[in-house]
């Protein structure tokens, strides 16, 4: 089954209604309520069994994942616009900086910290050498321990 299915790829109206309800309700954990909404049953006790059967179908799971991904992709421009507005018009400097960091993190990925913690019983020259070595090796956010 392709991993990029959405409800547009489903042909059965009840399956479309079920997938739409699962996504709208917040995920597969709400399968029983989605089965009731989609009209598979009127009995709440049967709804769990129906949901389990539907959610075990790879086509349905793929459609739920694809529909969720599609909705996130559709919402991304609005989220970006919101971050840009906070970045430019935020009331506090910290909110503007945080918004700018979020924009950069999503554009180029998080910038790793360049700090290194070294615990050693050695002469200062040895410690400086270890610090240089750790920097060259790219030890980032790690702990470089010498016993």
Question: Does residue 66 sit in the same domain as residue 76?
Answer: no
Which residues of the chain fall short of a pLDDT of 50? 1-2, 140-141, 147
User: In this predicted structure, what is the pLDDT of residue 146?
Assistant: 52
Tens digit of each residue's pLDDT (9 = 90 or more) over 48-76 = 999 999 999 999 999 999 999 988 888 88
Mapped onto helix, strand or coil, the DSSP state of residue 37 is: helix
20, 62: one domain: yes
Nearest to 52 by CA among 95, 22, 76: 22
- Same domain assignment for residues 16 and 47: yes
Range of the domain at 34: 7-70
Residues 15 and 52 in one domain: yes
How many domains does the structure of the chain reveal? Answer: 3
13 and 61 inside one domain: yes
Same domain, 43 and 12: yes
Instruction: Answer whether residue 125 is part of any domain.
Output: yes
Mention every residue, 6+ apart, whose C-beta is less than 8 A from residue 37.
17, 18, 21, 25
């Amino acid at each position: 089954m392709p991993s990029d299915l959405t409800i547009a790829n489903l042909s059965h109206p009840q399956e479309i209604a079920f997938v739409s309800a699962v996504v709208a309700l917040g995920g597969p954990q709400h399968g029983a309520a989605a089965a009731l909404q989609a009209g598979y049953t009127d009995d709440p006790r049967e709804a769990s069994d129906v949901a389990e059967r539907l959610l075990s179908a790879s086509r349905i799971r793929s459609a739920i994942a694809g529909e969720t991904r599609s909705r996130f992709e559709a919402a991304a421009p609005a989220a970006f616009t919101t971050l840009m507005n906070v970045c430019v018009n935020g009331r506090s400097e910290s909110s503007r900086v945080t918004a700018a960091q979020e924009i950069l993190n999503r554009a180029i990925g998080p910038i790793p910290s360049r700090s290194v913690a070294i615990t050693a019983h050695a002469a200062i020259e040895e410690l400086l050498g270890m610090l240089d070595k750790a920097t060259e090796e790219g030890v980032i956010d790690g702990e470089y321990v010498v016993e």
